[in-house]
Homo-oligomer: A and B are copies of this chain.
């Protein structure tokens, strides 16, 4: 069965201590068992025309959609979300069953 992905792409507000936000996010995912894996990155290569001002991507993986739904209503997530929303200038979120079209050999 397809795993479920929660993708968050953001531009942080100027002056935000991004490292602190990242620490909070790592704490969050460590506290919630439903989050199977978590990876993130800061763009270093895209053209500004394509990046559209966004700088960071966060990608969480869940075994199934129901685990993601449970995560969104977890008290730790609700608490963190308030902090996170205050730190961001722009956001795009996509939640989707992942289709693996090419796997590592």
Contact = CB atoms under 8 A, between A and B. Distances in A.
Interface of A: 5, 7, 9, 25-26, 29-30, 35-47, 50-52, 54-57, 59, 61, 65, 68, 91-105
What 7 A-B pairs have minimum CB-CB distances, sorted nearest first? A41-B96, A45-B95, A50-B93, A38-B102, A43-B94, A46-B93, A46-B95
Contact of A51 (B61, B93, B98): B93
Copy count, this protein chain: 2
Contacts of A39: 98-102
Contacts of A45: 65, 68, 95-96
A101 B57 contact: no
Contacts of A9: 7, 9, 92, 94
